[in-house]
Structure 1
Amino acid sequence: MNAPRPHAPQVEVVISGCSATDAGSLFAELCRRFGSDRAAEEAPHEATGGRPTMWTGTFDTSATHGGPARTTGQAPRLSGPVTAELQGEPRAVECLRRALDETFVVHQLGLVAGDQEVDVELRLESRTPA
């Protein structure tokens, strides 16, 4: 008999289609809620050469910091839509997505589900216009 696989709480987040400032705001918000391989004050940098830039971070949904949900006026503002790809175990991805739903307007663009993990593509927008 096969034993159930343990819950893997890490979610890899890939941010693209935005400025380094917006990526930094998004990562800072996630760091406020979850443990991460990034520091909340770690500012992403733009790549040179006109090539598309992507920023990554890994967030541990089992290491929640218990930050309270923000009110709309306190939420970070994005200058435009941000594309975020979340990859990990389904329960961990859902936990991180719920945190994003509390702060941003979230549109699901795509979902690829495998046996042990999911890959979800989201478009995030500020709750209030920038």
Structure 2
Amino acid sequence: MNSPVAHTPQVEVVLSDCSPTDAGSLFAELCRHFASDRCADDTPHETSGARPTMWTGTFDTSTSPGESAGTPSAPSLSGPVKAELQGEPRAVERLRQALDETFVVHQLGAVAGDQEVEVELRLESRRPA
């Protein structure tokens, strides 16, 4: 017997090709919209070594973006940030919409599975009007 798959609101976000400051700004912005396993003031830091640094966070998209506290100015990024989003398609779309409100978002690729999708994005600061 087939039963419908329940909506899983968690989205894993992996950031790379950016500074710790940019990763922190991006995670803080997402924490304004969604509950997370990261604190908004959890500052990413570089690790020593030759491997590229990646930062991860899991965000619960079942909380409403309308519940965010205040509307501070959009964070500025020092350069493009690569972000990979992975989760149930509706949850990924909801998180992406929050990113679209704050950043210029370019989709670089997407892989869809039966119950999950992985989307690769490049995020840039919005230029002042």
Question: Take 2:84 and 2:111, find their aligned partners in 1: how far apart are those partners?
Answer: 11
2:22 matched residue in structure 1: 22
Question: Take 2:70 and 2:97, find their aligned partners in 1: how far apart are those partners?
Answer: 11
Which structure 2 segments of 5+ residues have no match?
none
Q: How many residues align?
A: 127
Per-residue Cα deviation, 1:20-67 (whole angstroms, up to 9, x for no partner): 000000000000100000000000011112321000000000023522
Runs of 4+ in 1 over 4 A off after TM superposition: 68-71
Which structure 1 segments of 5+ residues have no match?
none
Letter of the 1:48 counterpart? S
8 Å Cα contact 1:82/1:125 also seen in 2 = yes
Q: Aligned ranges for residues 31-70 of structure 1 at < 5 Å?
A: 31-64=31-64, 66-67=67-68, 70=71
TM-score (norm 1): 0.92
Letter of the 1:46 counterpart? E
1:9 matched residue in structure 2: 9
SS where residue 57 of structure 1 aligns? strand
Question: Take 1:111 and 1:52, find their aligned partners in 2: how far apart are those partners?
Answer: 22
TM-score (norm 2): 0.93
- The sequence identity of aligned pairs, in percent, is 74
8 Å Cα contact 2:34/2:60 also seen in 1 = yes
Question: Take 2:110 and 2:71, find their aligned partners in 1: how far apart are those partners?
Answer: 27
